[in-house]
Structure 1
Amino acid sequence: MSSTKKLVVIMRGAYVNCKDKWAQLAEKHNVELVPFEGTSSDEFYQLFAKKNVVAVGHTVPGAKRLKGYDMDRFRKSVDGLEVMAHMGAGYDTLPDPHVLKEMGIVASNAPNSVMEATANTALYLTIGAMRNFNALAAALRRGEWFGDVPLAIEPEGRTLGIIGLGGIGAVARDKMQSALSLGKVQYYNRRRAEPAVEKESEYVDFDTLLRTSDIIFLSIPLNNSTHHLLNAEAFAKMKDGVVIINTARGPVIDEQALVDALASGKVLSAGLDVYEHEPKVHTELVKNENVLLLPHSGTHCIDARTKMEAEVIENIDAYLSTGKVVSPISEHV
């Protein structure tokens, strides 16, 4: 490992499908690539000993291997680091964004590369949850033809409420409108979306969305303001028989409150790709055949992972070329 060259550390999962593009980055900027497969924080911070790590290609599997970040140690250990490019749209596994900003470390995510795959997952979960496909499949595997699974409902003519009409939310909205013959689409954001994103969707306040939506789809980042956004109080405001779809982050829903709402019938069914305590899933959700479950697999396909890896490279390349990333995280805009 050369002490004269700047280093780009690539965490587990980000050096798989685009090795040629990584090589082009290294040649263009005269940096050395350091694929990191370590399993401890000690190994990670040792890479910074010579203070020549300029960038980190950051991943969820890599961060989980480190068991997160002790921010006091992080502050003291990463002298020279300038940019962290996260491989994914949700970036809650990054070190504290506000601390990064204080330290002058730029952080990016990869929102563009996950849109199609995550939106397709949302479409699948919506159809499956509304049509009782999980319960029907379970009955069939038990040797029962339909069993006692009740008649389902169709999305046609229903009101879809989107919490978080950003990139993924907008792509999912377009797919659902095209495929499902929805009656109305409304959304809640902290700020009204631009007209090109909003299109024909109606901007409403949070309580209105809860009270009037037949399907509620969550597509928001996890932060202090969105943690347990859907809690017992929120579920109480919803229509009886509402359908909940979540491809965002598990902790935006109070999972126990969701379990209670399913048990009472307030929530008819749910389609979930994310969970509050991953990889653990609430036992009542596992047992409830009205809940369609996936193991956080919205981007579990070669196409999406290749795009995500390429977006990490694009952000690092842009930073090394211009001092700015293409897709900064919202706290750094």
Structure 2
Amino acid sequence: MAKPAVLLIGDLAHTNKEWSILSSKYTLKEFRIGTREEFLSNLKSGEYNDVIALYRSNQSVSETGPFDSEVIALLPESLKFICHNGAGYDNIDVKAVNERQISVSSTPVAVDDATADVGIFLMLGALRQAHIPLTALREGKWRGHAGLGHDPKGKTLGILGMGGIGRAMAHRARAFGLNITYHNRSRLAPELEGGATYVSFDDLLAKSDILSLNLSLNPKTRHIISAPQLAACKPGVVIVNTARGGLINEAELVAALESGHVASVGLDVFEEEPKIHPGLVKNERAFLLPHVGTMTVETQRDMELLVLKNLESAADEGRLLTRIGEQKGLPWTKDDAGKVNGHL
């Protein structure tokens, strides 16, 4: 009996050995380096017609481009699972994969701690407006014209999106004496809230001294923070974003920052990466990082391992361990248990 075929798209940094070991169970196919045109050609030629599951990542966009409707339409009928390396998966057309009844997993949990660590770092940097003294020091000006910052203690941190990263952010924030409020599509169970207060979206904006964005980017959440929402925030609010740049209308954020309504920002993500709005780059009250939230050896390895575990679970049992939220409860899926459409 032929072994199931699985496909790796892009490179592996930490788990090449684990990938190779899978050859005892599966036929391993690879598209580590190439162009979108080459990948589309391979799809059209039928090279992957026996592949049942594939591994891809946010980084592999450089090889194939986004998994948009063009790519999804050409995926072989055999393919039932896309195992994605990344907490965010906005470069996958979820509507198109749902129409094809292809299950998708991401890497929650593995990214929670590292992303929340960076979130706290950005929050503190924005509160203390750390960009000014950091830059002055390297220019030989000691503190430069640094003014007084603010302490986190006693302030209200509003978390928009209380998933794994949001909860990890809240856990760390409590050590700084912050009061935690949050807004989700639905309220969490008490054991997951950890003492945080559930509020409406409007109340989150109106009452937060610091607003942290920790939700996924999709058509419904794109520009969820724009001019009207910024105007509804407290004067002097601090905004932190470690999720996706497209959650914020960057030009309108710049305007609110320049007016002083937004006191400062801590950003690890941007709307058109790697391009950054020049108004953010030049503003000394913007504490910026180049999307490094998960850039640790430990986290990157954990992410790769989780994708391989999803790949194995898909090929061996016909199920994913960490299916994306948009697919949970769909008629053709069985969430995290059983088999999918009788596959395997």
Fold match (TM-score > 0.5): yes
- What is the alpha-carbon distance in structure 1 between the residues aligned to residue 68 and residue 55 of structure 2? 19
Q: CA RMSD in A?
A: 1.7
Q: Report the CA distance shift for 1:35/1:9 in structure 2 as closer, same or farther (over 3 A).
A: same
Contact 1:229 1:252 in 2 (8 A): yes
SS of 2:30's equivalent in the other structure is: strand
- Who is 1:89 aligned against? 87
In 1, Cα distance between the equivalents of 2:51 and 2:136?
55
Q: Map 1:131-170 to 2 at 5 A.
A: 131-170=128-167
Residue 174 of structure 1 is matched in structure 2 by 171
Deviations 1:87-137 (A, max 9, x none): 01111112x112212212110000111111101110110111101111111
- Where do 1:168-317 residues align within 5 Å? 168-178=165-175, 180-182=176-178, 184-317=179-312
Match status 1:126 vs 2:159: no
- Partners of 1:279 and 1:73 lie apart in 2 by 24
1:74 matches 2:76 = no
Partner of 1:53: 51
With the length of structure 2 as denominator, give the TM-score of the two structures. 0.90
Q: Deviations over 1:119-173 (max 9, x none)?
A: 1110110111101111111122222222222210010110000000000100111
Match of 1:109 among 82, 106, 110: 106
Deviates more, 1:18-27 or 1:274-283: 18-27
For structure 1, which segment, 99-108 or 168-177, has the greater mean C-alpha deviation from structure 2 after superposition?
99-108
Residue 200 of structure 1 and its aligned partner are, at CA, apart by 0.3
- 8 Å contact 2:39–2:64 — kept in the other structure? no
Instruction: Could you list the structure 1 runs, at least 4 aligned residues long, displaced by more than 3 angstroms after superposition.
Output: none
**Residues 82 and 45 of structure 1, relative CA distance in 2, 3 Å threshold:** farther
TM-score using structure 1 length: 0.93
Code of the residue aligned with 1:71 in structure 2: it is S
The C-alpha deviation readout for 1:225-259, integer Å capped at 9, x for no partner, is 11001100001011111100000000000001110
Q: Secondary structure at the match of 1:113?
A: coil
- Contact 1:211/1:237 (<8 A) preserved: yes
Letter in 2 for 1:147: G
Q: Secondary structure at the match of 1:10?
A: strand
Within a 5 Å distance, the mapping from 1:24-43 to structure 2 comes to: 24-27=21-24, 29-43=25-39
Q: Distance in 2 between matches of 1:287 and 1:207?
A: 30
Gaps of 5+ in 2: 329-344
Structure 1: gaps of 5 or more residues: none
Give the drift of 1:38: 1.3
Deviations 1:34-63 (A, max 9, x none): 252112243355057141122111111212
| Larger displacement relative to structure 2 (112-121 or 37-46) | 37-46
> 1:182-234 deviations in whole A, cap 9, x for unaligned?
1x110010111122221200000011010110000000000011100110000
Shift of 1:72: 4.1
Instruction: Report SS of the residue matched to 1:318.
Output: helix
Distance 1:241 1:198 in 2: 27
Q: Tell me how far apart the structure 2 counterparts of residues 73 and 40 of structure 1 sit (CA, whole Å).
A: 9
Which of 78, 97, 116 does residue 100 from structure 1 map onto? 97
Q: Is the 2:211–2:238 contact (alpha carbons within 8 Å) kept by the matching residues of 1?
A: yes
Alignment partners' CA distance in 2, 1:319 and 1:258? 42
Report the CA distance between 1:31 and its aligned residue: 2.6
Which whole-Å CA distance do the structure 1 matches of 2:189 and 2:70 have between them?
Answer: 39
Letter matched to residue 210 of structure 1: L
Matched residue SS, 2:104: strand
Q: How many residues in Structure 1 have an aligned counterpart in Structure 2?
A: 326
Q: Which 10-residue stretch deviates more, 221-230 or 315-324?
A: 315-324
Letter paired with 1:221? S
Seq. identity, %: 36
- What is the rounded CA distance, in whole Å, between the counterparts of 1:273 and 1:312 in structure 2? 24
Contact 1:38 1:44 in 2 (8 A): no
Q: Which residue of 2 aligns with 1:21?
A: 18
